[in-house]
Amino acid sequence: MSRIFLAGATGVIGARLTPLLLAKTHIVWGATRSPDKGEFLRKLGARPVVVDVFDAEALAAAVVEAKTEIVIHQLTDLSALHDPTARSAALVRNARIRDEGTRNLVAAAQKAGARRLIAQSIAWAYASGPRPCDEDHPLDLKAEGDRLVSVLGVESLERQVVEAPPVEGLVLRYGRLYGPGVGIDAPPSPPSLHVDAAAYAALLAIDHGRAGTFNIADPNDEVSTDRASAELTWRADFRLKAI
Interface residue list for ligand NAP (CB under 6 A) = 8-12, 14, 31-34, 37, 52-54, 75-79, 81, 97, 122, 174, 176-177, 182-183
Q: Assign 111 to helix, strand or coil.
A: helix
Q: Which is nearer to ligand NAP, 81 or 207 (CB)?
A: 81
CA 169, chain centre distance (Å): 12
Q: Which is nearer to ligand NAP, 49 or 114 (CB)?
A: 49
Question: Minimum distance between the CB of residue 75 and ligand NAP, rounded to whole angstroms?
Answer: 4
- CA torsion, ordered 89, 94, 97, 98, to nearest 10 deg: -140
DSSP letter for each residue of 31-68: EES-GGGHHHHHHHT-EEEE--TT-HHHHHHHHHHTT-
The torsion angle over the Cα atoms of residues 179, 240, 226 and 70, rounded to 10 degrees, is 110
Query: Cβ 22 to ligand NAP, closest distance in Å?
Result: 17
- Minimum distance of ligand NAP from residue 191's CB (angstroms): 9
Nearest residue to ligand NAP by CB is 11
Q: CB 198 → ligand NAP: shortest distance, Å?
A: 7
User: 27 or 217: whose CB is closer to ligand NAP?
Assistant: 217
CB-wise, 189 or 207, nearer to ligand NAP?
A: 189
Amino acid (1-letter code) at residue 191: P
Q: Which is nearer to ligand NAP, 116 or 176 (CB)?
A: 176
User: Shortest gap between Cβ of 15 and ligand NAP (angstroms)?
Assistant: 8
The Cα-based distances of 19 to 39, 178, 181, 231, 232 in angstroms read 15, 19, 15, 23, 19
